[in-house]
Amino acid sequence: MSRTALRICPLCEATCGLTLTIEGTRVTSARGDRDDVFSKGFICPKGASFGAVESDPDRLRTPLVRKDGDLREATWEEAFDAVAAGIRPVVERYGGDSVGVVLGNPNVHTMAGALYPPLLIGGLRTRSLFTASTVDQMPKHVSSGLLFGDANAIPVPDLDHTDHLLLIGANPLESNGSLCTAPDFPGRLKALKARGGTLTVIDPRRTRTAKLADRHIAVRPGTDALLLAAMAQVLFAEDLADLGDLAPHVQGVEELQAAVRDFTPEAVAAACDVEASVIRTLARELAAAPTAAVYGRIGSCTVPHGTLASWLVDVLNILTGNLDRPGGALFPQAATDKTPRPAGPGRGFALGRWHSRVSEHPEAKGELPLSALAEEIDTATDQGEPIRVVITVAANPVLSAPDGDRLDKALGSLDFMVCVDPYLNETSRHADVVLPPPPPSQSPHHDFAFNTLAVRNQVRYTRPAVPLEPGRMAETEILARLILAVTGMQGADPAAVDQMVIDGTLGKAVTEPHSPVHGRDPRELAAQLTGESGPERRLDMMLRLGPYGDGFGVRPDGLSLAKLLAHPHGIDLGPLRPRLPQPLKTRSGKVELLPQPIAGDLPRLREALRERSDGLVLVGRRHLRSNNSWMHNVPALTGGSNRCTLHIHPEDAERLGVRDGAAVRVKGAGGEVTAPAEVTDGVRPGVVSLPHGWGHDRPGTRLSHASTDPGVNVNQLLDGSLLDPLSGNAVLNGVPVDVAPAE
């Protein structure tokens, strides 16, 4: 007997609603849910392989605990006892900072990852926090923090209504979008063109997205900040800057004008390898469009001037009056956002409140650069204790961060390591305890993070489609128990963790004048919460306190968990709407257009005008049927064009004597790898491309399919020293390399 159940897809940021077919406890197929209020039936090949992804026989079914050097299957009780015994003595002797917490990308794709890590970090009192953000979007957080006073206030292009989209360093036809949650991104781009809009793509590769564009500019990698600064300069010089309704909310326009004055198109053209006249045209088109949105992603973030480029993306939106207006770039309002407080000055955003021990990198958003994790473990200084224990949750930094070999060695030298991960992979092979979450069909799902980045306000929740198998533990419970184990409360009831959050949140809400529950009794409110589990009760609380919530009875038609459960395909909350000045939390209460740290970084950008090298630089790429490091073990998603090859332009190939299909050696500051060449004019001359997440040839892993075609780890070419200084983000694109035929 088969049945169907709904499940939001967790495999990328598009958050498509899926209809799963289930036989017994097995997901046998997945199709798009046509009634989903947001995705309306869209599905991609990864979503269609949902069943294959989760039934991978290499997925761990029980915890593993290291005994006499080997990882062996163990009970949950043994596993958490081992965690407490391994971590507590280290915390007591060396303090919380001696425990490094590493959070990987899939945390933003699970409810557990949204609800528990803050408590883990708070409970440990550790400042040794490293996440995938510093190999990804930290520059955007920093620029938003500085411009708007809130690192999480990220404007999203109004994809469905804009007349002109300028897309920089993003390839949504493969990635399905990022920091812009839009199921069927490809369809939405085609709709933009069908309604007469224009698409411009800036990318050193002629990607599938670039092929769709009206204009493709194959910029030299790493130079977008120069190009965007020149566009801003043109807007001022040609009197095209027009803030419109934004003007009263923005300060620093004149200072900005002065700051970009010398970044003329002529001055940047050679560095960017884009003609000055083309840069002028880009600026004019942006200003002339009835509405327009500038949007930058990986290729604009993971570069030496990532924060400046991210800042300039919003500067251009602001100067053309497109920030916070329909058709431009707007701030979404998610159902689980905090109760909106009245507009007015806030606390602002601070950078560098503390520094890493070894290289003294400033923290950003409470995090240290993932690039610095290895040295924080393997280097002694007189500035405090090194990291002796690492806890990873959904992270594979041995492949995703620079210099995996060094990190690999460092992880092997730890006193103790715990990984919450479904796989025994390049990172978790070093663990003393592995705690495997259940497959996604057995987990509830709500997108806490991606709804704050979605092109339409909407809310959806799916309960587990399949009941937890015997012997499994929900990831929410794993993390709650982990928190108890590392804070000296091993064995306590995990429900206490949720109750603590509920009591704390409601206790605070009743004291806030702007809260719908101001002045009420928190115990009375807590008693009203519904839900089958702690996480569900927390979701109910957040929905009810949130911007669309029922305010615990104040707005009876508002949102609650019960209401959401009554709408299994989700609830549409309408298009993105102007919200300024409410989201601003700067000290001035305005958009601060030229914040001091940005002004302080502009001289470095000016220097980049002079740095010219004629050597090859490396960029990455993504493949539709893959996802970072962890989907190469699923046969249905591998093979074909999804390969770890070096793309190289025919001119460069000829000059270097590289033949299509032949092995080439690629050398960077951090090491050397050998991969087959794929000669293609899909990359511009001077640029080569290797995808990331490969290199599955280390011993002690359980990745039987991935290890048959391991590929190479592109991040071994990096030594971890190249960072965007303001954000601590790793430079992963535009990295100098040498390429030669392999002997």
Ligand X SMILES: Nc1nc2c(c(=O)[nH]1)N[C@H]1C(S)=C(S)[C@@H](COP(=O)(O)OP(=O)(O)OC[C@H]3O[C@@H](n4cnc5c(=O)[nH]c(N)nc54)[C@H](O)[C@@H]3O)O[C@H]1N2
- Which of Mo ion, ligand X, ligand SF4, none does 157 bind, CB closer than 5 to 8 A by kind? none
CB-wise, 273 or 550, nearer to ligand X?
273
In whole angstroms, the minimum distance from the beta carbon of 43 to ligand SF4 comes to 5
Residue 683: both structure tokens together: 């990359």
Number of Cβ within 10 Å of residue 14's Cβ equals 27
Find the binding residues for ligand SF4 in span 300-339 (CB under 6 A): none
Query: Nearest residue by C-beta to ligand SF4?
Result: 47
Tell me which of ligand SF4, ligand X, Mo ion, none is bound by residue 16, counting a contact when its beta carbon lies within the kind-specific cut-off of 5 to 8 angstroms. ligand SF4
Which of 44/517 has CB closer to ligand X? 44
Residue 44 interacting entry, from ligand SF4, Mo ion, ligand X, none, C-beta within 5 to 8 Å by type: ligand SF4
In the sheet where 215-217 sits, what is the strand order? 215-217, 198-202, 164-168, 293-296
Query: Between residues 130 and 630, which has the closer beta carbon with respect to ligand SF4?
Result: 630
What is the number of the residue whose Cβ is closest to ligand X?
A: 299
> Whose Cβ is closer to ligand SF4: residue 14's or residue 730's?
14
Q: Which residue has the tokens 């000045």?
A: 581
Q: Are 142 and 727 in contact (CB under 8 A)?
A: yes
User: Where in 475-514 is the site for ligand SF4 (CB under 6 A)?
Assistant: none
Tell me how far, at minimum, the Cβ of 432 lies from Mo ion, in Å.
28
Q: Both tokens of residue 675?
A: 């991969």
Q: For Mo ion, give the closer residue by CB, 183 or 321.
A: 183
CB of 466 to ligand SF4, least distance (A): 18
Q: What does 585 interact with, of ligand X, Mo ion, ligand SF4, none (CB < 5 to 8 A by kind)? A: none
β-sheet bridge partners, residue 729: 724
Secondary structure of residue 399 in the 3-state scheme: helix
Q: Which residues bind ligand X (CB under 6 A)?
A: 12-13, 104-106, 110, 132, 135-136, 168-172, 174-176, 178, 202-205, 207, 219, 221-222, 224, 297-300, 303, 393-397, 400, 420-423, 425, 437, 475, 619-624, 626-630, 692-693, 714-715, 732-734
Tokens for 313? 């993306």
Residue 244: CB minimum distance to ligand X, A:
27
Give the amino acid at 221.
P
- Least distance between ligand X and beta carbon 509 (Å): 30
Q: How far is the CB of 136 from Mo ion (least distance, A)?
A: 4
Give min distance, CB of 18 to ligand SF4, in A. Answer: 7
Query: Which residues 6+ apart lie within 8 Å of 596 measured at CB?
Result: none
CA distances from 683 to 115, 166, 223, 317 (A): 41, 20, 16, 28
Minimum distance between the CB of residue 46 and ligand SF4, rounded to whole angstroms? 4
The listed partner (Mo ion, ligand X, ligand SF4, none) that binds 420, CB under 5 to 8 Å by sort, is ligand X
Return d(Cα 574, Cα 335) in angstroms, integer.
12
Nearer to ligand SF4 (CB atom), residue 335 or residue 624: 624
Contact partner at residue 11 from ligand SF4, Mo ion, ligand X, none, CB < 5 to 8 Å by partner kind = ligand SF4
Compute the distance between CA of residue 635 and CA of residue 450 in angstroms, rounded to an integer. 28
- Single-letter residue type at 594: L
**CA atoms of 272 and 218, how far apart (whole Å):** 9
> For residues 327 and 164, is the Cβ–Cβ distance under 8 A?
no
When CB distances are held under 5 to 8 angstroms depending on the partner's kind, the choice from ligand SF4, ligand X, Mo ion, none that residue 9 binds is: ligand SF4
Closest approach of Cβ 185 to ligand SF4, in Å? 8
Q: Which residues of 138-164 are buried (b: 16+ CB within 10 A; e: fewer)?
A: bbbbbbbbbbbbbbbbbbbbbbbbbbb
- Asked if omega into 422 is within 30° of 0 (cis), the reply is no
- Residue 394 touches which member of Mo ion, ligand X, ligand SF4, none, C-beta under 5-8 Å by kind: ligand X
- What's the Cα-to-Cα distance from 680 to each of 617, 646, 648, rounded to whole Å? 16, 10, 6
- Whether residue 314 contacts residue 295, with contact meaning beta carbons closer than 8 Å, is answered with no
Q: What angle do CA 302, 308, 311 make, to 5 degrees?
A: 105
Which residue lies nearer to ligand X by CB, 111 or 502?
Answer: 111
Handedness of CA 213, 687, 694, 301 (dihedral sign): negative
Q: Give the x-and-dash track for 126-165 against ligand SF4 (CB under 6 A).
A: ----------------------------------------
Q: Residue 16 or 335: which CB sits closer to ligand SF4?
A: 16
Q: Taking the complex as a whole, how short is the minimal distance between the CB of residue 400 and Mo ion, in angstroms?
A: 9
Nearer to Mo ion among residue 136 and residue 184 (C-beta)? 136
The one of Mo ion, ligand SF4, ligand X, none whose footprint includes residue 551, by CB under 5 to 8 A per kind, is none
Selection from ligand SF4, ligand X, Mo ion, none that 171 binds (CB < 5 to 8 A by kind) is ligand X
- Minimum CB separation of residue 169 from ligand X in Å reads 3
Q: Residue with CB nearest Mo ion? A: 136
Between 300 and 310, CB nearer to ligand X: 300
Considering only residues 14 to 73 of the shown chain, the ones binding ligand SF4 according to CB under 6 A are 14-16, 43-44, 46-47
Judged by beta carbon distances under 5 to 8 A according to partner kind, the member of Mo ion, ligand X, ligand SF4, none in contact with residue 331 is none
**What is the CA angle 108-114-120, rounded to 5?**
120
421 binds, among Mo ion, ligand SF4, ligand X, none (CB under 5 to 8 A by kind): ligand X
Query: Mapping DSSP to helix (H, G, I), strand (E, B) and coil, where does residue 460 land?
Result: coil
Closest distance of CB 135 from Mo ion, Å: 7
Nearest to 202 by CA among 159, 172, 169, 156: 169
Q: Where are the beta strands (DSSP E) in 187-292?
A: 198-202, 215-217, 250-251
| Surface-to-core class of residue 406, CB atoms within 10 Å of its CB (0-12 exposed, 13-18 middle, 19+ buried) | buried
Considering the complex, state which of residue 170 and residue 543 has its C-beta at the smaller distance from ligand X. 170
Angle at 589 between CA 583 and CA 593, to 5 degrees: 90
Question: How many residues does the structure list for the chain?
Answer: 743
Contact 305, 179 (CB under 8 A): no
- Work out what residue 397 binds among Mo ion, ligand X, ligand SF4, none; the CB cut-off runs from 5 to 8 Å by kind: ligand X
Q: How far is the CB of 458 from ligand SF4 (least distance, A)?
A: 14
CA distances to 312, 457, 581 from 335, in Å: 29, 8, 19
Residues near ligand SF4 (CB under 6 A), total? 12
Quick one: 205 or 472, whose CB is closer to Mo ion?
A: 205
Shortest Cβ distance from residue 200 to ligand SF4 (Å)? Answer: 23
Q: Report what 715 binds from ligand SF4, ligand X, Mo ion, none; CB cut-off 5-8 Å by kind.
A: ligand X
C-beta closer to ligand SF4: residue 15 or 98:
15
Q: Residue 525: phi, psi to the nearest 5?
A: -65, -45
Footprint of Mo ion on residues 106-145 (CB under 5 A)? 136
CA distance 330 to 58: 42
Side-chain-side CA neighbours of residue 151 (13 Å): 15
Q: What's the longest Cα–Cα distance across the chain?
A: 76
Contact 608/226 with Cβ under 8 angstroms? yes
Beta carbon nearer to ligand SF4, 124 or 624: 624
Euclidean distance between the first and the last CA atom of the chain, given in angstroms as a whole number: 58
Output phi, psi for 450, to 5 deg: -70, -25
Q: Please tell me the count of residues contacting Mo ion according to CB under 5 A.
A: 1
DSSP of 482-512, one letter per residue? HHHHHTT-TTS-THHHHHHHHHHHHHHHTT-
- The torsion angles phi and psi of 343, rounded to 5 degrees, stand at -60, 150
Kindly identify the residues of this chain, within the stretch 174-193, that bind ligand SF4 according to CB under 6 A: 176, 183
Rg (Cα) of the chain, in Å, rounded? Answer: 25
15 binds, among ligand SF4, Mo ion, ligand X, none (CB under 5 to 8 A by kind): ligand SF4
Residues that bind Mo ion (CB under 5 A): 136
List of residues contacting ligand SF4 (CB under 6 A) = 9, 11-12, 14-16, 43-44, 46-47, 176, 183
